[in-house]
Amino acid sequence: MLNEELKIKIAQLLPAIEFEEGGEWLNIHVPSEAFRSLIVSLRYDAGLDFDYLFCLTAVDWKTHFTMVYHLTSTIHRHHVVVKVKLDRNNSEIETVSDIWRTADMLEREVYDLFGIKFLNHPDLRRLIMPDDWKGWPLRKDYEDPVNMIKL
């Protein structure tokens, strides 16, 4: 499906969605409270069928976080990038690990490095850093006087 057709179809799901165009992929900004229901629709609605989550990451903008999900459909060969703005002081979002199994590890990685909590995640532990590590290393305001040399 072309980006334009995809845009029309997704706009029908939720009026509050903002679109961002100009890139190769269609970018959509979703309010965090509507995120879970929308992502279920993207996965299971006929004609959308986003059955493959190929990237899950987060961005720290200093004022807020953005969760970024890259989805693709192996059936229809179309792609979408879902972005969700999160409050920096209370960063929580519903898990998608029950929809795409790969999100289990990816969400653990994001939790490990950004400290974003994934609600209803089956096993939210640190993935890469040692279990007793303090803090969230990829946050922009992260400081570590032992390992870090400040410029």
Q: Which residues sit at the interface with other proteins, rule CB under 8 A? A: 137, 142, 144, 147-151
Q: How far apart are CA 13 and CA 55, in angstroms?
A: 23
Cα torsion angle, 96, 99, 103, 104, sign: positive
Q: Smallest distance, Å, CB 7 to other proteins?
A: 39
Using only C-alpha atoms, what is the Rg of the chain?
16
Q: Which of 113, 70, 64, 107 is nearest to 85 (CA)?
A: 64
Q: Smallest distance, Å, CB 144 to other proteins?
A: 5
Nearer to other proteins, 46 or 151 (CB): 151
The CA–CA distances, whole Å, from 37 to 14, 63, 69, 76 equal 10, 26, 15, 21
Q: In this structure, what token pair is assigned to residue 135?
A: 């803090």
Q: Smallest distance, Å, CB 151 to other proteins?
A: 4
Q: Smallest distance, Å, CB 113 to other proteins?
A: 10
Q: Smallest distance, Å, CB 134 to other proteins?
A: 11
Q: How far apart are CA 125 and CA 31, in angstroms?
A: 26
Assign residue 16 a region: left if phi > 0, alpha if psi is -120 to 50, beta otherwise?
alpha
Nearer to other proteins, 77 or 134 (CB): 134
Nearer to other proteins, 45 or 109 (CB): 109
